[in-house]
Structure 1
Amino acid sequence: MDSILALMQSPEAWIALLTLIVMEVVLGIDNLIFISILTNKLPPDQRETARRVGIGLALVMRLALLGTVAWIVKLTTPVFELFGHGFSWKDVILIAGGLFLVWKATKEIHHNVDPADHDEDFIASTANASFGAAIGQILLLDLVFSVDSIITAVGMTPHLPIMVVAVLVAVTVMLVAATPLANFIEKNPTIVMLALAFLLMIGTTLIAEGMGFHVPKGYIYAAMAFSALVEVLNTLSRNARLKAKAEKRAMH
């Protein structure tokens, strides 16, 4: 208790907390985009529940990992060497998660670009994705993003209470933003393609990080923000043109 009171009175601790909250929220965007796209494929009455379960699992997983910080730190220790590069369990997890994201995003992009080029079973499975399958895929990506998130937190502060508060705030933000983001993506088909492109880029980045190539996160999120801004401007322009056409027809 005394240590927590000391942290509350420390300006450095508050700065670390605010910085870590921002970092955790930003890192959670990747997870949130994936959850939004995946749950939008479920029947409407299951989507909200799936989002809450998926984000709830992310919270449980991150808090559980925080309880094993000493073990998490060891995940960065190389366990085998390949082509002259030492790979840790963190690298293996990032590569596996990156490959899954690339596969999933490529598959969804193919389906969106050429929906006719699929057999009936595939169409049925994507149009009526099962709740269990969606949660399973969310859980897999939760693990990847949680490991990355917690290792980032450990690198920024040694204080466990700060990490816990940052994770709780970040996941709460995800919970609040999940449904509005998913609805926005669903109502704007071009946004779906942009979000899938983001997932493809994130997956590639995870693979690169796992292979030992450091990719500054700032560049990735700056590119995502710029692309999203351009798409929002395109959407506003398109809506303005449609509104003008509707008003012109009404006048005639």
Structure 2
Amino acid sequence: MDLRLKFNEDEYNYDKYRPTYPEELFSDIINYSRISSGYEALEIGIGTGQATLPILQSGCRVTAIELGNNLTRYVKNKFKNYMNFNVINADFIEYTIKTEAFNLVYCATAFHWIPLEQGYVKVRNILKDDGTIALFWNHPFPNRQDDISNIVNRKIYNKYRPSDKEVREFNESDCQRRINELERFGFKDIIYRLYHRKRTLTSNGYIHLLNTYSDHRVLPVEVKNNFEMDMKNAIDEIGGKINIYDTIDLYLAKKK
């Protein structure tokens, strides 16, 4: 199964437990792109709209493209009162989009699902002259060694999902790869920003959040159930809450 469609299985849980993005991030996008009423924006992979409302409220027309049919129906209803919103149920790469149609193309924690070269080339083609690309991701990190809730989280992960991959927090050195990509595929005036926050979830809330991750949803049923039971019990034993340390990275650039 296409892992991208795992997000389509439980849109209500996804909308409730996936976080939105910092207000400062949207201010940076709007100020950089100068979008307002009369401008056209395209959101790639809208999901349940965690990154949509501030762009809609800028007054520009937002067209969203979403692979999942359930997610498409969900956001169509969620934003039904906004006359400047439209959503298309399609694959971004396969769907035909008019060239130089948008002032802003943006994507929230989804662009990594798109083939690299095809994605950047298509975005560049559909942007108007001097149009803006905005790419951003949220990197949750519940693995700090000075946080007891993070320590028990890692213990359960090591039990059920051991990995040789280094567990480390996203940092500024990781941003250069995206900057290089934007330069390589013909974008200019590149800037990036990092934002940080801490979320605190109950044990139940954390289990619900894990069920918005495609790699968690594809676990064998018995493994998944035991993992969730042990995770909940471990968090409950240390007070019932877990801290998640988010790093959000934003990249802004203009079409050459």
TM-score class, shorter: under 0.3
Hey, which of these two has a bigger chunk of helix by percent?
Answer: 1
Hey, which of these two has a bigger chunk of strand by percent?
Answer: 2
Bigger radius of gyration among the two? 1
Tell me the TM-score normalized by structure 2.
0.24
Larger RCO (alpha carbons 8 Å, 6+ apart): 1
